[in-house]
Amino acid sequence: MNKFLQTASNNFDSYFSPSIIKKVELILLRLAIISFIVHILIIYFCNYFECFKYSHHSYLKAIYTPFSFILFYEVFLLIIIIPNSISEFVGKQFEVITLITLRSFFHDIADFELNNIINFQNQAFISMVLDLSASILMLGLTIVYYKVFHIVEYRDIIVDLDKFINIKKTVSFCMIIVLLILSLTSFLNWCLDMLKAINGNSNFPNPNNVFYNDFFSIMIFVDVFLLIISFTFQSSFLIIFRNASFIITTILIRMSLSISKPMNYIVIIFGFLFSILSFYLYKRGNNFITNDKSL
């Protein structure tokens, strides 16, 4: 078992070195640029050539496509960061869901008629306000989380740290494979749903449900697995509660992707607050116990 874990860890280090991660970043950025241009051209043909014309499309929709590639890169980083620490991994989840919320604005503004009167009776306008308000609040809570994370008065003591890191690298390596399979199948399903929507003249599928529902469902089980494994190396009431709170936050994030606005944002923000408060109390509790034992 140890030999298998070491082999998987070595493969992770070789396949996902800083130089390779940089190459992945460049590839995705180039794809984002190409997709942006292609999307603009598609909209142009849809709007001005009768053979492609189903309805008039706003060019603002093209902004959504390159941002999706940037978001995918953040998801890639989320998986790569698993071996670092569970706490840092959760912080990256905060970043991803915040970017998903911000991306919703680009989706909503493309459907907003600029000639319409801007007021709070306009549902499209309200939706955009919710996107921006929720994303800026999530950004603030993410910063607060990292502020708590970088409080260094206490550090977890982990028995056999190298083995624990090797297990997390193995999990991360497996999740990269899952990410590639999931992204491919989700893209194919999205193409089929788009064709059905066009042919049936119905609403386009919610892009947040295309990939992220399944991804965060898988992440729940990854969190649970890491929680169980961590008991072998570090075990205390405070650690159990902290890690359990992280799982709860992941579950709430997954739930929010299937809930309509504004309740979805309320669920996410509650999850953020729950993790931040739990993590803060965990830090304070460990510092108190440590100081008490030193007396």
pLDDT digits (tens, 9 = 90+) for 103-112: 888 777 766 6
Distance CA 190, CA 202 (A): 14
**In a 3-state reduction of DSSP, which class is residue 81?**
coil
End-to-end CA distance of the chain: 42
With cut-offs at 50, 70 and 90, classify the pLDDT of residue 203.
Answer: low
Average pLDDT for 221-231? 81
Stretch among 1-5, 33-37, 245-249 having the lowest mean pLDDT: 1-5
With cut-offs at 50, 70 and 90, classify the pLDDT of residue 208.
Answer: low
Identify the DSSP state of 262: T
Q: What mean pLDDT value characterizes the chain? A: 79
Whether 193 shows a pLDDT value over 80: the answer reads no
Average pLDDT for 240-247? 85
Distance CA 101, CA 155 (A): 33
Considering 51-60, 65-74, 115-124, 137-146, the range whose residues carry the highest mean pLDDT is: 137-146
CA atoms within 13 A of residue 243's CA, in its CB half-sphere: 21
CA atoms within 13 A of residue 227's CA, in its CB half-sphere: 20
Whether 154 shows a pLDDT value over 60: the answer reads no
Distance CA 83, CA 173 (A): 10
pTM confidence score: 0.81
pLDDT tens digits along 69-124:
888 888 888 888 888 877 888 889 999 999 988 888 877 776 666 666 566 677 77
Whether 16 shows a pLDDT value over 60: the answer reads yes
The tokens for 3 are 């030999």
CB-CB contact of 92 with 146 (8 Å): no
With cut-offs at 50, 70 and 90, classify the pLDDT of residue 135.
Answer: very high
Average pLDDT for 139-151? 88
Residues with Cβ within 8 Å of 13's Cβ and at least 6 positions away in sequence, in order, are: 169
The tokens for 56 are 């008039």
Whether 139 shows a pLDDT value over 50: the answer reads yes
CB-CB contact of 124 with 92 (8 Å): no
pLDDT at residue number 294: 45
